[in-house]
Every structure is written in structure tokens, then in C-alpha cells.
Amino acid sequence: MNEIKKIWRARKWMKSNEPFLYAWHAHVGYVHDLFDEFEHGATVRDVAKNRGMNELLLTRWAEVGVAIGHLKKEKDGTIRSKKNMVESMSKSSDQDVGVLLKEMMELHIPILLSYSDLLIGDDYASYKDDDYAGTVAATSSFIERFAFPKVYQWLQKVDAKSVVDFGAGYAGYLSRIGAKEENMRLVGIEKNRQVCLDAESHIPYRLKSSIDLYPEDMMSWKWDGERFDVAMMNNLLYYFAPDERSHLFQKASEVTNDHGSLIIISPLHESDHGHAFSAAFNSFMSAHSNLHQLPTSTEMIEMAARAGFGLKHMKPIVKEGAWYCLTFQKAS
């Protein structure tokens, strides 16, 4: 009986880990543009030769793809990518979501796999912004697609004429605003100089309002001009310790006018949605010496209140990931 239970439990764990194959296969295909290579049907040998790849390993990757339904083997022996994989895992697709897998597989999972070693020592991993800033900024751009309608709705509601974005990344929010609105004053603060330069050279929209980007630390940045209608702080609170976050809210208060607003896009801990994701995300953050736990909505509301902001709206934007859009406004 014990042997039967052991076998049953082993099969159960094997089954529960099967979804990892889908993520692994898609990630490899995304990184090397393999779904594009096989989009119209091709042999593994031809692709390996054209791309200078290991034919044996590419064959094994293709076999997994056929087994899990990412690829199809034709009668003539060629391999063809399924349409949905080309749409979602091609960098040239407007439906591309591969960057999420890239961040998960190259950044999050390696740290989680090292968790057992970290548990029995006093050392922590160190997040290196220069190594991952581009990937994280690209992931933030993906979240932006879901969040921007809510952001833009609020800008229209308060008739905003000026916006400052702290941690602007690739300036995605500012670009979308600038493409829709004329005569807006749009300012972005992005600490990573290379990300800032990349943003300036790759704005994907025809702008009606120009954008000024400053490669500076938001905590020490000084603004002597007219105060802004709206400040934004998206996807950045976990870079700051809980006792430092109040300074961010104070900074937002300093640069916004008397009726100014603050918009924050962030995953939340202990929220109504995405408990598994937020718990895993917190594990990843806590494994680093220079990253910090996710905020809770209660913490956010309290810090905002101390800076003179009151909560107006809190809405989920990606429920599975516990991502929320929180809108605050100074009291009239």
C-alpha cells in the first residue's frame, strides 16, 4: 500500500510540473525567434544550418513543441509553428507577450531555484539593475497596455495639462499621452541612463506633445518649474524599503499642485486577487539584499495620507498578477 501511495504521489507531482514545459519551450522559442523560423514550415536541419544552431538540441526542442502542441509536424517532415505561438511569442507581433516569460525564466526562476541554499546562509542575492533594466522596462511596457486606459481616463477627468513620471522606463505612458494630447507638459525621470537613451530613440508614436526625459535619481531630482497636475510612480515601489517609500509620496506631493493627483501601478501584497503571484513575487524580492517586499493597499493609503493625498480609486488591471492601479488626489 505504501509503495502504491508513493507511486501515486510521484505521478501527481510529475503532472503538476508539466506546465513548466510550456513555459520553457515558449521561452527558448521566443529568445531565438524560432516560432518565426518555423512559421511557414521548415526542417530542423535547415533552421539549424541557417542559424548556426546545435541540430540535436534543436531537434529535441522541436519534439517537445510537437508533444505539447506549440508546433505541428507535417506529413512531409517539416515542422510548422502553431498560429497562436507566432502571435504571442514573436517579437514582431503586436500581440507579443514573450517578454513576460523572459523576465520570469531569466530573472525570477533562477533566484527561486537558489532559495534552498539562501535559506541556510546569511547571504542574499543582489539585483543588478544594469543587467536587467531593459528586460524589466519591457515587462513594464506590457503591463502598461492594460493600465493605460485607466490612467488616461483619470487624466481626462481632472483635465490634466502636465504629467511627471517617476521611473519612466521606456517612457511608454508619456508616449501614449503625448500621442493623444496636444500642448501637454510631459516629464520623465529614469535613473538608468541607457534605458533613458533607448526611450528617446525608440518612441513608437507620432507625438503631439514633446517629452523631456531626465536620467536622474528621482529621490534627489529637483524641479524648479511650475508644479504638475499629475505624478505617476509605476512598477517601482519594490526598489525602495518600506521606510523609504514615504519619501516618494512626499516627493510626489512636492512637485504636484494644490489639487494634484498621484497614479501608482503596482502589484499588491494581501490583495483581493493574485495571492499566489504576490507571495512568489515577495519571495523573489526578499531573496535580494537590494529589493523589498510588495506594499499592501493599507500601507499605500497611509503613506499617501501623510503626504496629503486621499485614495480615489483602486482597480485591478491584471488580476492573476495582483497588479493594481491606484489613484490618489490632494484634498480640495
pTM of the model: 0.84
**Separation between Cα atoms, residue 55 and residue 308, nearest integer Å:** 62
Q: What is the pLDDT of residue 1?
A: 67
- The one-character DSSP state at 269 is T
Stretch among 7-11, 169-173, 256-260 having the lowest mean pLDDT: 7-11
273-278: long-range pairs with CB below 8 Å, 24+? 273/316, 273/319, 273/320, 273/322, 274/318, 274/319, 274/320, 274/321, 274/322, 274/323, 275/322, 277/320, 277/321, 277/322, 278/321, 278/322
**Separation between Cα atoms, residue 65 and residue 32, nearest integer Å:** 14
**Separation between Cα atoms, residue 331 and residue 15, nearest integer Å:** 54
pLDDT digits (tens, 9 = 90+) for 243-301: 899 999 999 999 999 999 999 999 999 888 989 989 999 999 999 999 999 999 999 99
Q: What is the mean pLDDT of residues 64-93?
A: 95
Nearest to 124 by CA among 246, 283, 279: 283
Q: How confident is the model at residue 77 (pLDDT cuts 50, 70, 90)?
A: very high
Q: What is the pLDDT of residue 332?
A: 63
Domains and CATH numbers, the chain: 2-89 (1.10.10.10), 129-330 (3.40.50.150)
Q: What is the pLDDT of residue 105?
A: 92
Q: What is the pLDDT of residue 121?
A: 81
Write the CA distances from 122 to 82, 211, 328, integer angstroms.
47, 44, 39
